[in-house]
Amino acid sequence: MKQDLTGKIAVVTGTGGGIGRATAVRLAQEKMRIVLFGGNNLAKLDETRRLVEQQTECLAVPGNLTDLQAMDAMFAKMIDTWGGLDVLVNNAGMTLNAPFAETTVEQFDAIMAINVRVPYFLTQKAIPYLKKSQAATVINIASVVAHAGYPGQSAYGASKHALLGFTKSLAAEHYNDNIRVHAIAPGGVYTDMVKIARPDLTPEGMIMPEDIAEIIAFFLLNRGNAVVDEIIVHRMNKQPFLV
């Protein structure tokens, strides 16, 4: 039976555009209440808030996600305003196209911080609230680079492998708390990230951010006895893992 998500509370990270914005808007269509967490481009965040508020209530909390105190402040504001949490979507992330030999410590640390450390500790801080929810779900946006190796993506690939490893342990550790944990591993999605990294790609035939948002909605709407751990998403006309 389809779940009624009306009034359920979701925190989505990295909602200034791309997959994060599409997800916030899709969940807003289900009348969930949405926290837009993180991001320094206030104009982009404001546009997402405008889209979400056409459907539902919205809290926008900008800032650098790597600041652990900002996470505490966001949860405090959320509890103060709405009193709980049901869904966490760890979406924010960055990529890096650089040969292994030239990748710097600063680049490595930055990518591990946003792609691994942020979801790890944001989820840790979310768990006490999720334990009180009947719809508790964590969704981590991994990537096909969590499964395969691509040249020039050693740091990005390492970060997404780490995120997937974290996801698996989290799922096992909190299974008995009735917290569902899912990973989605998309191939190339037509967002700013891909437009910058692969300017040769055109939108034709590409996965769109709305496709990923629809899969997230599917996870939340279908909370039956059949648990889907991970969905790997690739293009219609490409073999899996070829972007």
Q: What percent helix, strand, coil does the chain show, rounded to 5? A: 45, 15, 35
Decide if residue 124 touches ligand NAP (CB under 6 A).
no
Q: How far apart are CA 212 and CA 192, in angstroms?
A: 15
- Which residues, 8 to 67, sit near ligand NAP by CB under 6 A? 14-20, 38-41, 44, 64-66
Toward ligand NAP, which CB reaches closer, 160 or 223?
A: 160
Nearest distance in Å: CB 131, ligand NAP: 25
Toward ligand NAP, which CB reaches closer, 92 or 133?
A: 92
Tokens of 174: 């909190």
Q: Draw the binding track, 96-115, toward ligand NAP (x: CB under 6 A; -: no contact).
A: ------------------x-
Active-site residue flag, 190: no
* Alpha helix stretches (DSSP H) within the chain: 18-29, 42-53, 68-82, 105-112, 118-130, 154-173, 192-197, 209-221
Decide if residue 93 touches ligand NAP (CB under 6 A).
yes
The window from 26-34, 127-135, 169-177, 186-194 that contacts ligand NAP (CB under 6 A) reads 186-194
Decide if residue 194 touches ligand NAP (CB under 6 A).
yes
Could you tell me the sign of the dihedral formed by the alpha carbons of 12, 218, 206, 229, in that order?
positive
Nearest distance in Å: CB 137, ligand NAP: 17
Q: How far apart are CA 64 and CA 61, in angstroms?
A: 10
Spell out the residues 6+ positions from residue 53 whose beta carbon is closer than 8 angstroms to its own.
none
Indicate which residues carry an active-site annotation.
156
Q: What residue ranges bind ligand NAP (CB under 6 A)? A: 14-20, 38-41, 44, 64-66, 91-95, 114, 141, 143, 186, 188-189, 191-194
